[in-house]
Structure 1
């Protein structure tokens, strides 16, 4: 039974305020659990986002044209859903570039309101970052340009308009940005896009009776944001993948506004984590479960046997707390079915050594900082567009101690850098946190020590962001700003947002 239907069956409306007795709360708490395991028809082939086309200009830069536009998307029988997309009606193409390439984008806004595109996980100049200071007005075009200078990784792009990010993402703006380099190109990992190397943007959505997106925040402590009762992968509800190879690489992105996923397979098989936000791990980690909070990515490799069918699933989470069920932490969700052919090719492999492990633990630390996330604030302050919270010195390593201090789920994302998780509450981080990260889930009350190096792209007046990536929290002010300073530079003043035309 869907969460919405269950609540109505017990007499609780979705909209408006309600007053429940303790007995009523017990009924609500029970009704709020969602379990779709074994109940999804999986009758649609998984949509694979096309690779973005590009041209080469006179300087040799690859130029991508991205058009943000409104449209109508048919997710299910009945009325089409009003959506936003990039070069289409929902989501956008997968951008693919190689380390060392110069890239340029012509981002045109065909909406009737301002928006932006942020290159999540990318090391680039702050003025090209696509954050709240790089607004693209309705009818305008923005042309960021930079040289790709980081290892191969699965990144992504999404809107980042201050106060409206949750709304713009929920309508459908976003897509993957895959980086390649010599290491990954020489690897035997599965690598044929859409065949054995499959992008999977996992999102939850709620629909009203007319198939329109419904921004449904749970009653009674729904402090995380919108929790939907339908799961989409690349915009497909109930998708299946026809498997043709023994090994398949899944590039997983938690593209939801608020939902936490605890990924595993329906038979509890072991799979190999080979990469996190910032690229390849030093060696594979074999596991049966993997948490991804909003904004996090992971590359996993799973082995299939001829003729079998298996489901990717999200399992209940341990992080929910007292009201966890209301926010979806007790949900069990079938996400995608994999249907293996009777004969599978077997040319790929999982190398025992993959990449280079993060190496900042022994570096000289120029500065240590502390960040407390609570009550939609960081260190007791809400985001202010005209306030730069601090400056960091180019070329130095800093260690940031970050803690979630109010019992609700938070995570922490830093623009421009990939960081190393040094310790979690003084102990060694779990294996899935030992690679390069730009977004990390913060278990309530635990201290996460993050080491990061700031290199290149100095600008005293153009800030990068750090924030919670649960988008309601971000929009409500759980965000701050920093600048990267050259030797002798001081923190400047934020320039007025430049409207691109």
Structure 2
């Protein structure tokens, strides 16, 4: 039952009275875990003249989410895409062919690269066309991901299945005694949720509270419903990405045991941190290492989120994945006490502070305009961005091209899990996060990067802005390069 008194405010449903919803979803203890976890294959590539070349085909497909045949989209397959891997310093070229019946795009989330190669809304790939971005990998080892970013269509295209991991490697990470055998003790975990019609087709209707975004009652992990993973080593590394449209996941194990978080969005933490719960909003990633005893079974689940945001599914309890340890396990080395040394950006080096207020479907009172540049940042500059969620529901915030550091949450030091390099951060209702970032390497006065809420429907409806990175003394163009152009 929904209490009376809902009012519309700027296109976003504001709650004027307490809202009573149907009971939260609770699947704990009810999942059969009768399907082996699908492992996305590593993408094949060739090296020509020192450049690693990948071929990606965006295509229609069919998946099984427990109700027969579900029409889906995929990359080089029926659903989701292969895991791309590249080395720091390596040049990559990716030939993206769109064999779907409509325009889309492919964005490299978390990647530092030229704006024209970013795959955002200014780089659409027309039906039947091929787009070929290329750049040099210029960042540390990390778990990134790729997904569509066509303005107004991002939520639908990700929901249908266009997503995959992009893993970066470097010598520092390889020197550490960490699990790294892909598909054996180094496992991608792509979390999504679906609503299905009785005939098995995807239900893309967000329902009564469509302003909050779409949440589903069927969780799929790497495209698998009710998955289990056979574990053959004493420790397993899970590269977890929240690739849902709206839902936050508050990760924990059914027995309350701790796990080691070793990396965040942008790569390794300074040292492992031991947690019993980890919150991931849409777009965030984490690498965790789980130690198991022979014969043990342990269930990764999501509990109520820290904000309890019911409209985003934050009150739900969901069993996600069962880990099944073999009776005999291969030994795993102890985790190192130190992983890396992240250079901290100093607040006194910041040349300016920018403020961003998230409300309704707007940022600072303005909705997305593909032809408008909201601000210009200068290459080499360090800036502080203060981002406030002015709403009663949850938002998060993603910045393209850079990795930032979280200085404070509501004026207090951030929790340990936010201490690493980040490109996406969750912001609770009425909360302010203070971020610091430096703009390096690439400039273009007319081709912008994006900043936006990564709740995909919020982004599609306008909670997004654009910035350019310019040379010192250079003014941004008075129009956006290619704002109406695409690859056809």
Normalised to the residue count of structure 2, the TM-score between the two structures is 0.94
Q: Could you say which residue in structure 2 is the equivalent of 1:488? A: 473
**Residue pair 1:218, 1:327 contacting (<8 A) in 2 also:** no
Please show how residues 56-455 of structure 1 align to structure 2 within 5 Å. Answer: 56-57=47-48, 59-78=49-68, 80-219=69-208, 221-320=209-308, 324-455=309-440
Q: Give the Cα–Cα distance (whole angstroms) in 2 for the partners of residues 495 and 302 of structure 1.
A: 47
User: Unmatched 5+ residue regions in structure 1?
Assistant: 1-6, 8-21
Q: Give the Cα–Cα distance (whole angstroms) in 2 for the partners of residues 325 and 167 of structure 1.
A: 22
Q: Could you say which residue in structure 1 is the equivalent of 2:27? A: 36
Pairing partner for 1:465 from 450, 455, 459: 450
SS of residue matched to 1:237: coil
Q: Give the Cα–Cα distance (whole angstroms) in 1 for the partners of residues 415 and 19 of structure 2.
A: 36
Runs of 4+ in 1 over 6 A off after TM superposition: none
Displacement of 1:362 = 4.6
Q: Give the Cα–Cα distance (whole angstroms) in 1 for the partners of residues 392 and 474 of structure 2.
A: 39
**Residue pair 2:361, 2:367 contacting (<8 A) in 1 also:** yes
Q: Give the Cα–Cα distance (whole angstroms) in 1 for the partners of residues 139 and 348 of structure 2.
A: 19
Q: Give the Cα–Cα distance (whole angstroms) in 1 for the partners of residues 360 and 26 of structure 2.
A: 31
User: Unmatched 5+ residue regions in structure 2?
Assistant: 2-15
Q: Give the Cα–Cα distance (whole angstroms) in 2 for the partners of residues 362 and 370 of structure 1.
A: 15
Q: Could you say which residue in structure 1 is the equivalent of 2:487? A: 500
Work out the number of aligned pairs and report it.
472
Q: In angstroms, what is the RMSD of aligned CA positions? A: 1.6
Q: Give the Cα–Cα distance (whole angstroms) in 1 for the partners of residues 170 and 378 of structure 2.
A: 28
Q: Give the Cα–Cα distance (whole angstroms) in 2 for the partners of residues 399 and 236 of structure 1.
A: 41
**Residue pair 1:222, 1:327 contacting (<8 A) in 2 also:** no
Displacement of 1:326 = 4.3
SS of residue matched to 2:66: coil
Q: Could you say which residue in structure 1 is the equivalent of 2:5? A: none
SS of residue matched to 2:312: coil
Q: Give the Cα–Cα distance (whole angstroms) in 1 for the partners of residues 251 and 219 of structure 2.
A: 13
Normalised to the residue count of structure 1, the TM-score between the two structures is 0.92
SS of residue matched to 1:294: coil
